[in-house]
Amino acid sequence: MGILKLLVYIAEEFYEEKNSLILIVFLSTFILTITDLIGPFNTIGSGTAALKEKNDELYKEIKVYREEHKIEPIDAKVDRVWKAIPGYNGLDVDIESSYKKMKSDGNFHKNKVVYKEKPPNVHLENLAPIPIYKGNPEKPMVALLINVAWGNEYIPTILTTLKESKVKATFFFDGSWVKKNPDLAKMIYREGHEIGNHAYSHLDLKKRSKSDTIQELEKTNALIEETIGIKPKWFAPPSGLTNPLRIFQ
């Protein structure tokens, strides 16, 4: 007798005897038992399929390619001359995703390799507060920084040139300039550029006290936030800063 016919027969017997509670207990026990029996076989089947994939030639070829082309990330560090140097993401091959894209015809294709970035273990945020004078030398990219402390006649032309070149820059605002040119400050921000702090009155902060320096930064940050709605993260000192501890201690 098949399992289904057996279940129907038992259900009819219990129904005729009006013993529904026993029927419910029996069926629940039966279902749990069948699930326990089938479950391990399903797991074994999946494991066997995964093992087969990892042992085929395509999978092995992708693994070899990964070892030859992966790039290890570079941690941020403090250099004796250049001070803080940002880290740089590494590049790794996503073996599983690459295999899925290639397994339809079973052949290796470089243009179907899937890459993923691998972040460094140490970021700028993990270092003590210290000036940044250069980016990571391994990164083929430059950062364009523009300090804005006086004048406004060239701003529209600069923005047009940046837009035509599809380039974003970081504009460091002097607080007194923002106060005089709020519309230009908003225009720069609307164009998608990053905004930084350039103190308030372009003083030589090397000759100022810690409290004076903090006041310059806080006053400018407050004015920028009031004008365009964001608080800058980065600070470019007007005349350089030989002692960052003046601010951060």
DSSP string covering 48-64:
HHHHHHHHSHHHHHHHH
- Where does the pLDDT of residue 128 fall: very low under 50, low under 70, confident under 90, or very high at 90 and above? confident
* Segment 224-234 mean pLDDT: 95
Q: What is the pLDDT of residues 154-167, one digit of tens each?
A: 999 999 999 999 99
20-55 and 3-16 helices cross at what angle (nearest 10)? 160
Q: What span, in angstroms and rounded, lies between the C-alpha atoms of 23 and 12?
A: 10
Residue of 194 and 214 predicted with greater confidence:
194
Mean pLDDT score, 118-128: 94
130 pLDDT band, cuts 50/70/90, is confident
Residue 3, pLDDT score: 54
Strands 90-93 and 83-85: unpaired
DSSP sequence for 41-108: HHHHHHHHHHHHHHHSHHHHHHHHHHHHH-B--B--EEETTTEEE--B-EEEE-HHHHHHHHTTTT--
What confidence tier does 40 reach under pLDDT thresholds 50, 70, 90?
A: very low
Q: How far apart are CA 174 and CA 219, in angstroms?
A: 10
Confidence of residue 211 (pLDDT cuts 50, 70, 90): confident
Note the CATH number of domain 145-248. Answer: 3.20.20.370
What gap in Å lies between CA 175 and CA 220, rounded to an integer? 4
pLDDT on residue 204: 78
Higher pLDDT, 37 or 156: 156
* CA of residue 239 relative to chain centroid, distance: 33
Residue ranges covered by each domain of the chain: 3-55, 58-126, 145-248
User: Across all residues in the chain, what is the average pLDDT?
Assistant: 82
Tell me, what's the pLDDT at 210?
Answer: 80
Residue 110, number of CB atoms within 10 A of its CB: 7
- Round to whole Å and give the CA distance between 173 and 193: 12
Alpha helices in the chain (DSSP H): 3-16, 20-55, 57-69, 95-102, 155-164, 175-180, 182-190, 210-228, 245-248
Instruction: Tell me the per-residue pLDDT of 86-108, one tens digit each, with 9 for 90 and over.
Output: 999 999 999 999 999 999 888 99
What pLDDT does 239 receive? 73
Average pLDDT on 35-41 reads 46
**Alpha-carbon distance 189 to 15, whole Å?**
76
| pLDDT score for 241 | 63
Identify the residue with better confidence: 155 or 44.
155
pLDDT of residue 208: 77
Summarize the confidence of residues 7-36 as an average pLDDT: 52
- Joined tokens for residue 241: 């800063």
